[in-house]
Amino acid sequence: MDTPVLWQFTSSHFNEKARWALDFKRVPHIRHSLVPGFHVPTVRRMTGKTHVPVLQLNGATIDDSTRIIEVLERAYPEPALYPADPAEQRRALELEDYFDEELGPYIRRWIFFIILPYPDYVRAAFVSHARPAIRLAHRAISPLVGSLMRRQMGINSRTAEIARGKTLAAMDRLEKELQPSGYLVGDRFTVADLTAAALLSPLVRPPEFPYKPALAIPEPFAEIRDSLSEHRAFQWTLRVYRQHRGSSAEVSAAAGAAAGR
């Protein structure tokens, strides 16, 4: 079995969802961290699309974080992210889908609306891992990158306000769905918890998140974060990260090649 390879953005919440599943299952894997915009030719060659995460596993190329977890559950069933009980499994997958559709795109749009006026912070979050030449190139085209992102993602003051409302609604839904156990389904950590926590991570910024920008967050972002810090969903996300995020299962490309021989 070849070592799995994850193609990712470091600071993306959907990428964090797939990455966390690999780490939770202790699957040794290689990571290739791409730079937004510059990633397009690489990803298009693999999938015909432009989004990440993308996982290469046993000769297959899987895009979409939900499909990646589904494949990982079959290839590495323990520890499980899907509940064994059929009714609980259906509920966990329903909640995964809810947070994927009703939280993920909207929290991304809202936060980008807040941070795009601060290009140094955006580069610190998404480009700091890249080679110096790529960082310089990205700096040179920062105004164009911001304009393209606003257009492609439909980011403006009206859509940002809608996205804010959807994010807060998802946080309220999470609070209502919590079981006496403190988890969303049953009495243990499942794909529902992983999805909700990963997709809230750009707002909550848990200390255990594996990639942290070197710059402080912009003041408007800090004020929004502080205003929501007492919400139960915010505090729940901090707890889930603290208890379940664990350490990275990433290995170097050289170690991965040796393991595959």
Distance from C-alpha of 185 to C-alpha of 193, rounded to nearest angstrom: 8
Instruction: Kindly report the pTM of this predicted structure.
Output: 0.93
What pLDDT, on a 0 to 100 scale, did the predictor assign at position 143?
A: 79
The tokens describing 134, both together, are 């790529």
Average of per-residue pLDDT across 101-130: 93
**Predicted local confidence at residue 8, as pLDDT:** 97
pLDDT score, position 256: 66
CA dihedral 38, 199, 101, 175 (to 10 degrees): -170
Dihedral sign, CA of 125, 108, 15, 212? positive
Distance CA 207, CA 51 (A): 26
The C-alpha atoms of residue 193 and residue 189 are separated, in whole angstroms, by: 6
CB 184 within 8 A of CB 196: yes
pLDDT interval class at 137 (50, 70, 90): confident
The pLDDT value recorded for residue 259 is 65
**Each residue of 208-248: pLDDT tens digit?**
999 988 899 999 999 999 999 999 999 999 999 999 999 99
Cβ atoms of residues 6 and 55 within 8 Å: yes
217: its two tokens:
């967050």
d(CA 255, CA 81): 27
- 84 neighbors 118 (Cβ within 8 angstroms): no
Averaged pLDDT, 102-108: 98
The model's confidence at residue 258, banded by pLDDT at 50, 70 and 90, is low
- How far apart, in Å, are the Cα atoms of 6 and each of 58, 74, 105, 108, 156? 12, 17, 21, 21, 32
CA–CA separation, 144 vs 149, rounded Å?
9
More confident residue, 161 or 37: 161
DSSP 55: E
| Strand, helix or coil for residue 5 | strand
User: How many Å is the maximal CA-CA distance in the chain?
Assistant: 54
